[in-house]
Amino acid sequence: NPFAEYMWMENEEDFDRQVEEELQEQEFLDRCFQEMLDEEDQEWFIPSRDLPQRVGQLQQQLNGLCVADGRGPEDVVSKSTLNPDAKEFVPGVKY
């Protein structure tokens, strides 16, 4: 047959459709796999991604704290309304 090498052209449209379907299927699977990876990344703690933000937040919170307010212990005791003769509080014990 002199046209044997061109016989594949007879079913060219079917072949093209099949290749296109395979490409679409592969693209769909790639997209699903990427979505799965993105969801997994959001659920897992990743120090390189999550830690710097948290360190910054902690640093801001620590900057707002102070160890002493400038008043001595005598000032606190003299202004206290607590009973110095009261029994020591022990959780779970009824008096």
Q: What mean pLDDT do residues 42-57 have?
A: 68
Q: How confident is the model at residue 32 (pLDDT cuts 50, 70, 90)?
A: very high
Q: Reduced to 3 states, what is the DSSP secondary structure of residue 91?
A: coil
Tell whether pTM > 0.85: no
Percent of the chain with pLDDT over 90: 19
Give the domain ranges of the chain: 3-79
pLDDT of residue 68: 64
d(CA 54, CA 56): 5
Amino acid letter, 4: A
User: What six digits make up the tokens of 78?
Assistant: 């003299």
- The model's pLDDT over 61-94, given as tens digits with 9 standing for 90+, comes to 777 776 666 666 667 777 778 887 888 888 888 7
d(CA 31, CA 37): 10
